[in-house]
Structures are given as structure tokens and as C-alpha cells.
């Protein structure tokens, strides 16, 4: 709910003040709104003639009358963009809302004047300057007023200034405040005494600086003000009272560029092997051209990363070479009201490109300040796990198995080889015997072939296929796992020897259930032998039957 304050039509001020105080006492939650206020009090900024400047510190804000002969004079043709004009006597009040044809016609209340002088304006279109004085280092909204009182009645008072933020450009129904969707962020109630010595219109006679309050990109800036309610004639300069005599008072902002930069990643995450990219757009939403606008973007480096513009922007170029490349654009002039420059950069990635790519782009200008924005993209890789088991169950007992791996990472055949070892260093990042893990792989299908078996085992012939998934790890490889089963090797030997009579000899020695061809070279001290070496255990248990036929 919007906070209602003591800002009312002139005749209702003190009643509303009491109501507002009661409301604050009854509802502490209202204090949580971002409201700053100034006053009450009398602030005399009257000047004797056009050579004078006079400033008053309101507490949270400052107000200054600017004489036309001053070095701080704000006059100049085409310098300002008005957003609310008031005209009435002896008092006047009103606020800006949409009065454009696109909004369905004029919408005004109180003494607000219709036409091009009154319109909705975004908070982002209000120029921001350093507050100066006691508020130096703080950002302030810069607001000007063109005061146009008659030559014979140059005094006038400013008695109420309220700033509201709203998402509704046609907001109406002010009654000491607005209901939702408006939120008040500033309130001044008091007596600012002014002597309007400047001649003519189209200039900024009064400067009002208010500390910038938080707002969203779509928030409209609504300013309510009251004039001419100060009674009496006290003051340093000028004659008569401070009532409005019928000339107009026009709030306006300096026509200035308002440049913003937005950087976005093509995608927040990609799989290794896919392109990564960023778009940088710099836009001038202000009322004046932005000149000398440049973009500088030190592009993030990484293995397999080489940046290019896509498509090419003739105002931009990339200097340097990987991994130290920088995008530079401009200087260019961005037209008022939405002129922009945009550039897109991209790079291919490989399985070696895993990681996070943080990127910050910065713009500079000759008249619109500087700014920056950042974006990040994560290149996700995956893990391939190879399990090396024995047919007897469990992992093989010895390290040393070698594998060739083919997949989407490279055009070579094979992409790489890896050996089961007992170190945790790449390429086998698992120190256990019988487990191989390779990380940093582009997601996709991989074909694994065992090329060398560990000592004491036979090769598991054939190939296995695994699908490496983005983000998988050695601890959670998922479908990126293949298993090879190795038969352990054993040796058997059948020997025959005559007992001493010289009358016996083997007619034949044969074994069934073996996988190989035995050697018949007699073992030392024996007459005949049949030997099988490196016989793989293909079953568990495995039965071998050997037959020796002895001569009759």
C-alpha cells in the first residue's frame, strides 16, 4: 500500500499533517517504504538581481535559484525536456501523467496544463548528477523548473514537492497521495521563497536535487508540486507576497544522453564441443545524442577458445590472439531516443574447454559517463569410466591395462589412449587398480577398445560404447561407464618319465578343455611333456582333462 503523506491541496495541509502523523503512529510498517522527506521550515533563496545564485540545504535535498548572469546559468535553446507544467492563481498544484495521444488523450488534474509540456516520464530518463555540498558523493536526480511569473509580481513560493514511482503512466486520483500501484519516495513540505528575476521562458531558473531512490526499469517518475501558499511578504528581495500570479511553472530535465549497456550469454550452460557466445548492446535512451561511445571487452580465454564476431560489425574488431583477445568498438555517436550499437561474439569449444567463462564489457563516452555489465557461460564436460574386472569377480589384481578411445573430441583415430595406473593424475584420474576415469570430455558417444591386458590376464577382445553425459564426474559417471572382463592366465604341464626299467613310454599325451596348443618339448628330467602357458580361465571353475596313453 502506498504511504499517504501531508501533501494536499493548499487548504487541507494541516488536517492532512495530523492524519499522516496518526497513520504513522498506528502503522509502523509504512516506515519500511523508501521515503525521504524535508521540511517543515522556511528556506529563503531570493536573489536581488540576475547576477545572484542562492542555495538552500533542505536536509536530504538541495534547491538553488540560478540567476541568468551566473556561471551556473542553465539557459539555452533546446536544453530541456519538460514533463509537467502548472498554471494558476493565487495557488497552483498538479503532477505529470500521460497526456499523449498514444495514451488515449489528455489526462490532467488540478492546475496542470495539457500539451507537450506534460507527459509521463520514466525514472530512468531523469538525469543523475553528484549531489555536491554536504551530499557530495551521493547520486541525485537533477530537476529544473522554468518559473514564469509576471514582471510586476516576481515573487512566488514552492511549498510541496513529492516524488512517486509507479508502473501506471496514466495514474490519477491524487487525494493527499496515490493508492497502489504508486509508492512515494520523496516529500518536501515547507516554504521555499523565490524571487524570479530572470526574463523569459525556456530556461531553468530553479535547480532541485533529490537523492536517487531505488527504482525498477519500468517505473515512471511522477512529480507533484504546490506553489503560492506562503502567506506574508517577508523576504530579503522583491516586493509583495508569494502567491502565484498566473504565469506557468514548468518542471523539466536537462536533455542528456542516458546510456546503458547490457551483456547476455547465448546460453548459461553448453556442452563441450558446442559454441559459446555473448551479445553486447549499448543503448542511448536519453534526450540527447551520446558521443564518443566505445566498448571494451577483454574476452575470456580457455583451451580451444578463439573468439570471432558473428556477424561482423564494421564498428568493432577483435585484437590479440588466444588466450588474450579483446573486443573493441567505436568511438560512435548514439542518437537520442534509442540509438544503439550491438555486437555478438562467439567461439567453438572442445573437451579441453570445460569451465566457467566470466565476461565483463565496459562502455565509455565523452558525454554520457561509463558503465559495465557482465555475463557468464559454463562449458560442461563429462567423465568416462572404464572398469576392469576379472572373470572370477572383482577388479583385476594388476595395473597396466591400456585402452584406445574414440569419440567426439577430435578427428584423430584414436582420440587418445589411457593406461590403468595407480596415480590420480590425468589421464587416468582414479588411483585404484581396475578403475580408469578420464574427465573433461565433450558429451557424446565414445568407443573404447582394450589394446593391452594387465600382467597375468588375457585381453577382453571387442569394443564397448559409453555415452558421456554433460556434468558427469568420476564419482557419478552415469552412462559414461564401460566394463571389460579379463580372464586370468594360468600354466599347466603334464610330464611322463620311465621308472627305470626302460620298458615304458607314452604313446600320447592330450588335454581337453584348453584354449591353446600345447608345447611338446620335454621338461628337464622327464621323457615327455605337454605344456600350456598363459591359458585363460574362461570359466569358474574350469575343468581340464589330460590323458596319457602308456605303451602296453
Of 218, 256, 258, 259, nearest to 341 (Cα)?
Answer: 259
Residue 43 sits in the same domain as residue 169 = yes
Q: Note whether residue 75 is domain-resident.
A: yes
Residue 263 sits in the same domain as residue 403 = no
Can you read off the three cell numbers belonging to residue 263?
551483456
Element (H, E) at 448: strand 444-452
Q: Which CATH number characterizes residue 419's domain?
A: 2.60.40.10
Measured CA to CA, the distance from residue 63 to residue 443 in angstroms comes to: 63
Q: Note whether residue 534 is domain-resident.
A: yes
DSSP state of 223: E
**pLDDT confidence of 545, banded at 50, 70, 90?**
very high
What's the pLDDT tens digit per position in 407-446? 876 556 778 999 999 998 989 999 999 999 998 888 889 9
Residue 136 sits in the same domain as residue 154 = yes
pLDDT above 90 coverage of the chain, percent: 63
Contacts of 79 (CB under 8 A, 6+ apart): 203, 204, 254, 255
Residue 132 sits in the same domain as residue 249 = yes
Position 74 scores a pLDDT of: 61
The DSSP secondary structure of 235-269, one letter per residue, reads: -SSSSS-----S-EEEEEEE----EEEEEEES-SE
Residue 96 sits in the same domain as residue 53 = yes
The answer to whether the beta carbons of residues 373 and 262 sit under 8 Å apart is: yes
Of 281, 298, 288, 426, nearest to 351 (Cα)?
Answer: 426
Residue 401 sits in the same domain as residue 476 = yes
Number of domains present in the structure of the chain: 4
Residue 371 sits in the same domain as residue 406 = no
Residue 226 sits in the same domain as residue 276 = no
DSSP state of 32: G
Residue 300 sits in the same domain as residue 171 = no
Domain containing 408 equals 382-486
Cite the beta strand spans of 125-240 per DSSP E.
128-130, 139-147, 155-166, 182-195, 206-211, 220-227
Residue 167 sits in the same domain as residue 289 = no
Measured CA to CA, the distance from residue 57 to residue 66 in angstroms comes to: 15
The answer to whether the beta carbons of residues 442 and 468 sit under 8 Å apart is: yes
Residue 171 sits in the same domain as residue 269 = no
Q: Note whether residue 108 is domain-resident.
A: yes
What's the pLDDT tens digit per position in 482-535? 999 999 999 999 999 999 998 999 999 999 988 878 888 888 999 999 999 999
What's the pLDDT tens digit per position in 251-282? 999 888 889 999 999 999 998 888 999 999 99
- Three-state DSSP at 160 gives strand
Of 96, 34, 46, 61, nearest to 225 (Cα)?
Answer: 96
Q: Note whether residue 19 is domain-resident.
A: no
Residue 180 sits in the same domain as residue 142 = yes
Last residue of a domain, one of 380, 414, 444: 380
Q: Note whether residue 543 is domain-resident.
A: yes
What's the pLDDT tens digit per position in 170-202? 888 899 999 889 999 999 999 999 999 988 777
Amino acid at each position: 500500500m502506498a504511504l499517504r503523506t501531508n501533501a494536499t491541496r493548499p487548504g487541507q495541509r494541516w488536517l492532512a499533517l495530523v492524519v499522516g502523523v496518526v497513520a504513522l503512529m498506528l502503522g509502523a510498517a509504512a516506515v519500511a517504504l523508501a521515503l525521504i522527506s524535508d521540511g517543515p521550515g522556511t528556506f529563503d533563496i531570493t536573489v536581488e538581481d540576475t547576477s545572484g545564485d542562492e542555495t538552500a540545504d533542505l536536509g536530504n535535498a538541495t534547491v538553488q535559484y540560478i540567476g541568468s548572469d551566473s556561471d551556473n546559468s542553465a539557459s539555452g535553446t533546446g536544453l530541456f525536456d519538460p514533463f509537467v507544467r502548472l498554471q494558476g492563481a493565487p495557488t497552483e498544484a498538479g503532477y505529470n501523467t500521460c497526456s499523449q495521444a498514444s495514451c488515449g488523450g489528455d489526462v490532467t488534474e488540478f492546475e496542470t496544463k495539457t500539451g507537450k509540456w506534460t507527459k509521463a516520464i520514466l525514472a530512468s530518463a531523469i538525469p543523475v548528477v553528484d549531489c555536491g555540498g554536504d551530499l557530495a558523493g551521493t547520486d541525485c536526480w537533477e530537476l529544473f523548473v522554468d518559473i514564469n511569473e509576471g514582471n510586476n509580481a516576481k515573487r512566488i513560493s514552492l511549498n510541496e514537492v513529492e516524488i512517486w514511482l509507479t508502473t501506471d503512466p496514466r495514474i490519477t486520483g491524487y487525494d493527499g497521495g496515490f493508492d497502489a500501484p504508486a509508492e512515494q519516495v520523496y516529500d518536501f513540505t515547507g516554504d521555499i521563497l523565490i524571487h524570479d528575476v530572470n526574463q523569459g521562458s525556456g530556461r531553468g531558473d530553479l535547480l532541485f536535487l533529490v537523492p536517487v531512490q531505488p527504482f525498477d526499469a519500468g517505473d515512471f517518475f511522477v512529480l507533484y508540486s504546490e506553489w503560492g501558499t506562503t502567506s506574508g511578504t517577508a523576504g530579503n528581495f522583491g516586493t509583495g507576497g508569494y502567491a502565484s500570479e498566473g504565469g506557468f511553472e514548468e518542471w523539466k530535465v536537462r536533455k542528456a544522453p542516458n546510456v546503458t549497456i547490457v551483456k547476455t550469454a547465448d546460453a548459461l550452460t553448453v556442452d563441450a564441443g558446442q559454441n559459446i557466445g555473448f551479445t553486447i548492446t549499448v543503448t542511448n535512451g536519453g534526450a540527447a545524442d551520446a558521443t564518443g561511445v566505445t566498448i571494451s571487452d577483454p574476452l575470456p580465454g580457455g583451451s580451444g577458445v578463439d573468439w570471432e564476431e558473428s556477424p561482423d560489425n564494421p564498428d568493432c574488431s577483435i585484437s590479440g590472439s588466444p588466450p588474450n583477445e579483446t573486443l573493441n568498438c567505436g568511438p560512435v555517436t548514439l542518437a537520442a531516443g534509442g540509438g544503439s550499437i550491438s555486437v555478438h561474439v562467439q567461439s567453438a569449444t572442445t573437451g579441453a574447454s570445460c569451465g566457467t567463462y566470466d565476461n565483463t564489457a565496459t562502455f565509455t563516452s565523452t558525454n554520457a559517463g561509463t558503465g559495465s555489465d557482465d555475463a557468464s557461460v559454463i562449458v560442461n564436460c563429462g567423465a568416462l569410466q572404464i572398469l576392469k574386472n576379472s572373470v572370477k569377480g572383482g577388479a583385476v589384481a594388476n595395473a597396466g591395462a591400456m585402452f584406445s578411445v574414440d569419440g567426439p573430441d577430435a578427428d584423430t583415430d584414436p582420440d587418445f589412449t589411457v593406461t590403468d595406473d595407480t596415480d590420480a593424475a590425468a589421464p587416468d584420474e582414479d588411483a585404484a587398480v581396475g578403475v580408469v576415469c578420464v574427465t573433461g570430455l565433450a558429451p557424446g558417444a565414445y568407443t573404447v577398445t582394450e589394446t593391452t591386458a594387465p600382467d597375468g590376464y588375457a585381453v577382453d577382445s571387442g569394443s564397448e560404447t559409453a555415452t558421456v553425459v554433460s556434468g558427469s564426474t568420476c564419482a557419478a559417471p552415469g552412462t559414461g561407464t564401460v566394463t571389460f572382463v579379463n580372464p586370468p592366465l594360468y600354466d599347466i604341464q603334464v610330464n611322463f618319465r620311465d621308472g627305470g626299467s626302460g620298458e615304458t613310454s607314452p604313446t600320447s599325451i592330450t588335454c581337453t578343455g584348453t584354449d591353446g596348443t600345447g608345447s611338446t618339448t620335454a621338461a628337464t628330467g622327464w621323457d615327455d611333456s605337454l605344456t600350456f602357458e598363459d591359458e585363460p580361465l574362461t570359466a569358474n571353475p574350469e575343468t581340464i582333462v589330460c590323458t596319457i596313453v602308456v605303451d602296453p
